[in-house]
Structure 1
Amino acid sequence: MKALLGMVWRAVRPVGAFQRSVWWAGTLLVFSGAAHLVVAAVDGGSWWGPVSWRKPVAFGFSMGLLFWSLVWILRQAPQRWWVRVPAGIVAFCGTVEVGLITMQRWRGVASHFNDTTPVDAGIWSAIGTLILPLTLGVAWLTVAVLARFPGSIASRIAAVTGLAAVLAAGAIGKDMAAIGEAAFDATGQVPADILFGAAGSAKLAHAVGLHGIQILALLAIGLDAGRLRPRQGGLAMLAAALGFAAVFGAVAATAYAGRAPYAPTVAMSLLLVGGAIAVATVAVTAFALLPGRRTGTAEASAPAPLRASVRIGTGWAGR
């Protein structure tokens, strides 16, 4: 396990001032989520509802993990302004958004859909406004990765698929916001939960899309470090990406159909199970082929694209 964590750290370790700033922003938000989890345990109260410690915990962890994923992409992308600018936009907007959400919880009021007072309305408006540049930043970064990405085939597939899933999660979030605002306008109360139709779990669909990039990045790191050739690793990553897309599609379709997550149609059940099996198979394969399970040499423990640099003594610092 220690070797596995070390391999992941080497793949996401920030290089340069800009990457370190994004990494530390993500670390700050992850620690904030962890700290508020402790606060929630001590304070008690409901985990759900519009005013709960779940908001700073969930948003802190989710945005922090997204920032760490951006560092993984930046490690392999061209060190150019057209890559750094969108990543910086995402990091800045995400940090401010989580800060506002956290502040509202400490004020004891709802952060979303809350137009009760001018202050609350202004904060909710700011949160909604920040989503636009954040989304544009993710879209810009997706195009940049598609245009030029010196990383491995597996990493490129994982990055593009993961970023596309984040954009899809943003679209789901926009629909959630529309439902929440309509409910507030109709009742004057912040809704306790957001559902699509009778029982569709909008939050689950949003979460799956948002966190797919972490799952795919971990698989890409494992495949790059394994004994597969680059093209073989790319094919395996393609299978995992298609599997994740199937899972995400099934979860989202079930939610938009107004069905509970545990009550999908037969077709969506088959799609969900098939996709999960594909992702799990690639994960098992990547783990089984990790070089650390065969040898402990420095060359074998380095990701495939960097083995040549290990041979000539440049190592990770040479990157």
Structure 2
Amino acid sequence: MTKTWHRPTLWLAVVMAVGAVGCAVAMVLDGRILQGASVWAKPFKFAVSLAVYSATLSWLVSLPHRGRRWTSGVVTVIAGIMFVEVGLIAVQAGRGMFTHYNSSDDPLNQFVQITFGTAIPAMFLANVALALVLSFQRFARPDVRWAVRGGLYLAILGMASGYLMVGPRKPVTAVDAEGREVELVAGHSVGVPDGGPGMPITGWSTTGGDLRVPHFVGMHGLQVMILLALGLAALGVAERVRTRLVVVGALGYGGLFALLVWQALRGEPLVHPGGTTWAALGGLALVVAAGAGLALRSGTAVRPPVRQPVPQR
């Protein structure tokens, strides 16, 4: 491990990766089903997602910037909350119980719900604080700087979209993996019950809207923006041009996120978009293409080759 990376989040990424492998094994060995999927599917998906997110935060905090001790503390808080969150999800999976929106009066479940209700908003605010600190100072190259800023705000939007799942709706009675009837006070599906036909691995609904789609896409905008900046640099695109392309990419990704929220709220499945959704997506693609074209025309797109000095004879 390099000394410059943030240790708590780096170790959390390792723990999450190991946990994901454990959950994958459990899915094979444990045949219990919860809403049409293995009881271990949810902790597996969360572990994979947060392994990537925590590794990204570890690298991000390593970038030289003012107040690094403070941002390191904020990210340590985020890491602690993510560890507790996935740990409690795994505990509930082992018990065959619903993790989220579960109104059961079971004492441990009540503890889980209270912890989530406190810890998740705290993690959201910690991410907001991190984004604000990095919004008002210079660090790294301009393209990386704007990728980090745009990515953090996209991740915050993704987290915020999770609150759409707890909007006012009629409670639904469901049966957990142990055959217990439970009243669920919220859910992620729109227009159809949770637990219906879904896509492989993700489980996203194929018959109705699913708010987990924009939630996931938004949260991982941070990784997409950083990879875009690093990829453009690897291709030799000039710094000014790739900075503008990163900004265009962040705005386009934000548009895609908004489109996915709109699609889900209309009860439309991701894999079966209607004509209106296709039209909106086409319009977004045209706007992004135009923005990218303007960015490429703004200057030399590729860095000029560095001339090596001719040795004197």
Deviation at 1:172, TM superposition (A): 1.6
Q: Secondary structure of the residue that 1:144 maps to in structure 2?
A: helix
Match of residue 310 from structure 2:
none
Amino acid at match of 1:131: I
1:210 to 219, 223, 227: 219
Deviation at 1:55, TM superposition (A): 1.1
Structure 2: gaps spanning 5 or more residues: 175-180, 193-207, 307-313
Match of residue 53 from structure 2:
66
Matched, 1:269 2:270: no
1:90 to 78, 81, 86: 78
Amino acid at match of 2:188: I
Q: Secondary structure of the residue that 2:216 maps to in structure 1?
A: helix
Deviating above 6 A after TM superposition, structure 1's stretches of 4 or more consecutive aligned residues are none
Match of residue 195 from structure 2:
none
Q: CA RMSD in A?
A: 3.3
Deviation at 1:113, TM superposition (A): 1.8
Shift of the 94–191 alpha-carbon distance from structure 1 to 2, 3 Å rule, reads: same
The TM-score, its normalising length taken from structure 2, stands at: 0.76
Match of residue 248 from structure 1:
257
Deviation at 1:219, TM superposition (A): 1.4
Choose 49-58 or 188-197, whichever is displaced more.
Answer: 188-197
Shift of the 86–268 alpha-carbon distance from structure 1 to 2, 3 Å rule, reads: farther
Match of residue 159 from structure 2:
170
Deviation at 1:50, TM superposition (A): 8.2
Q: Do 2:27 and 2:38's aligned partners in 1 also have CA atoms closer than 8 Å?
A: no
Deviation at 1:29, TM superposition (A): 0.9
Matched, 1:195 2:184: no
Match of residue 199 from structure 2:
none
Q: Do 1:47 and 1:54's aligned partners in 2 also have CA atoms closer than 8 Å?
A: no
Choose 196-205 or 65-74, whichever is displaced more.
Answer: 196-205
Q: Do 1:67 and 1:91's aligned partners in 2 also have CA atoms closer than 8 Å?
A: yes
Deviations 1:28-55 (A, max 9, x none): 1122112211221232454755872111
- Tell me, in whole angstroms, the C-alpha distance in 2 between the residues paired with 1:77 and 1:266: 47
1:148 to 122, 131, 137: 137
Shift of the 189–115 alpha-carbon distance from structure 1 to 2, 3 Å rule, reads: closer
Q: Do 2:64 and 2:139's aligned partners in 1 also have CA atoms closer than 8 Å?
A: yes
Deviation at 1:236, TM superposition (A): 1.7
Matched, 1:108 2:117: no
Q: Do 1:154 and 1:223's aligned partners in 2 also have CA atoms closer than 8 Å?
A: no
Amino acid at match of 1:204: V
Matched, 1:233 2:227: no
Please list, as runs of the form range in 1=range in 2, the aligned pairs for 1:16-31 lying within 5 A after superposition.
Answer: 16=4, 19-31=6-18
Shift of the 189–182 alpha-carbon distance from structure 1 to 2, 3 Å rule, reads: closer
Name whichever structure is richer in helix by fraction. 1
Q: Do 1:49 and 1:192's aligned partners in 2 also have CA atoms closer than 8 Å?
A: no
Deviations 1:168-196 (A, max 9, x none): 122221121345784469x9423795213
Deviations 1:148-174 (A, max 9, x none): 141122212221222112211222211
Shift of the 188–41 alpha-carbon distance from structure 1 to 2, 3 Å rule, reads: closer
Please list, as runs of the form range in 1=range in 2, the aligned pairs for 1:37-56 lying within 5 A after superposition.
Answer: 37-46=24-33, 48-49=35-36, 52-56=39-43
Amino acid at match of 1:52: V
Shift of the 14–226 alpha-carbon distance from structure 1 to 2, 3 Å rule, reads: farther
Q: Do 1:142 and 1:163's aligned partners in 2 also have CA atoms closer than 8 Å?
A: yes
Q: Which has the larger radius of gyration?
A: 2
- Tell me, in whole angstroms, the C-alpha distance in 2 between the residues paired with 1:202 and 1:91: 24
Deviation at 1:265, TM superposition (A): 4.7
- Tell me, in whole angstroms, the C-alpha distance in 1 between the residues paired with 2:55 and 2:63: 13
Deviation at 1:110, TM superposition (A): 1.6
